[in-house]
Amino acid sequence: MTIMKTKLFIAFIAGAFFMLSTVSCDKVENPFPPTFNSELDTTYYSGNWSDYLANEWPDFTTLPNDDPNRNALIEDFTGHNCSNCPAAATVAHNLHEGNPSRVYVASMHSSPAGMSGFQQVNESQGYTVDFTNPNGLELGTFFGDLSGSGFFGNPAGTVNRALEGTEYFYASGFWSTKVNQILSSALKVNIKAKVNFYDANKGGYLHTEVEVIDPALTNELGQVVYLIEDSLVGPQNVSSTYTPDYVHRDIFRKTLSGQSFGRTLSATYLTNGKYYLDYSFSIPNQLAPINQTGTYNAENMHLLIYVYDKVTLEIYQVIKKKLI
């Protein structure tokens, strides 16, 4: 009996040790990702990708909300050869400066036709920086072709793409009123986000969690991520005067997914009632005159992440994430 009890005791201790070892391993491993997006470019991470999954991938249960309030996004459609555009840009920048943690700006160099004389490079006139990109031109063309959008020319802008009467676009004199309306309205969608950026590799990863907190939102939703270059000194037509040292702010460079209207929040991304979308991305050099190479400066860029209604086009929430 003594030998039997000894064997049982040893077996019990061994089993307990195994269970403790298993629990310890479970604690070390990150409970996220719920699923792994195999489309991510793993080369931006210098170590073993298994280490990234275990130690770098965020656990959203431990992250606070990025913003419990509803924020505003001004999409300012502009052009470097548009003489009235700088005044509108000043309105947008002042609204951001008045509430820098809740009002954000994306300067979209695009017209209702996509490209126009306001956006084109014109070396003979000194407008040598190409501020356009395919996503911005596509957005301009979309709204230009959209009947009743109110986008007739530059400058014009949207605020969360919320309607003013029957139009999405309105002059800068209306932006302040619309911003205040957005900031005082209830939050309908919550976004959490974590950026892991590796400056030496000029790229990294964005992980997002989206929670729909307003049950009245029944339309399909989408998520878009803008890469914004904060400022750049370059030529601009200011009140019909060529100005070579104008400061261009909040320049829209591209979307992370490459899709102008982003990704649909589908069941593919749904886990336990929340949506999880992940992105790998690289950072381009800053804009420069044609035939020149811009400098690399990730500190001068940031991400704007927003969720919008794919039927009404209204943006329900937007947050900002710095890279460094």
Q: Taking 50 as the threshold, does the pLDDT of residue 6 lie above it? A: no
CA 152 to chain centre: 26
Q: Taking 70 as the threshold, does the pLDDT of residue 155 lie above it? A: yes
State percent of the chain over pLDDT 90: 86
**Structure-block tokens of residue 13:** 């201790």
Predicted confidence at residue 24, as pLDDT, reads 32
Mean pLDDT, residues 65-77: 94
Contact 106, 226 (CB under 8 A): yes
Residues in the chain: 324
Task: Give pTM, 2 decimals.
Answer: 0.89
Assign 3-state DSSP to the chain and report helix, strand, coil percentages, each to 5.
30, 35, 40
Predicted confidence at residue 65, as pLDDT, reads 86
Confidence of residue 32 (pLDDT cuts 50, 70, 90): low
Predicted confidence at residue 80, as pLDDT, reads 98
Predicted confidence at residue 11, as pLDDT, reads 40
Q: Taking 60 as the threshold, does the pLDDT of residue 1 lie above it? A: no
CA distances from 150 to 39, 90, 143, 288 (A): 38, 21, 8, 32
Bridge partners (DSSP) listed for residue 221: 309
Write the pLDDT tens digit of every residue in 105-146.
Answer: 999 999 999 999 999 999 999 999 999 999 999 999 999 999
Burial class (CB in 10 A: 0-12, 13-18, 19+), 167: middle
Angle (nearest 5°) at CA 30 between 24 and 36: 140
DSSP string, 84-112: THHHHHHHHHHHHHHSTTTEEEEEEE-BT
Predicted confidence at residue 185, as pLDDT, reads 97
Q: Taking 50 as the threshold, does the pLDDT of residue 263 lie above it? A: yes
Write the pLDDT tens digit of every residue in 7-31.
Answer: 333 343 344 433 333 333 333 344 5
Q: Taking 50 as the threshold, does the pLDDT of residue 188 lie above it? A: yes
Radius of gyration of the chain (CA): 24
Mean pLDDT, residues 285-296: 96
CA distances from 79 to 75, 84, 244, 255, 258 (A): 13, 9, 14, 19, 22
What's the CA gap between 147 and 13, in Å, rounded?
75
Query: What is the 8-class DSSP label of residue 269?
Result: G
CB proximity list for 56: less than 8 A, separation 6 or greater: 45, 196, 205
Mean pLDDT, residues 19-46: 59
Mean pLDDT, residues 216-244: 97
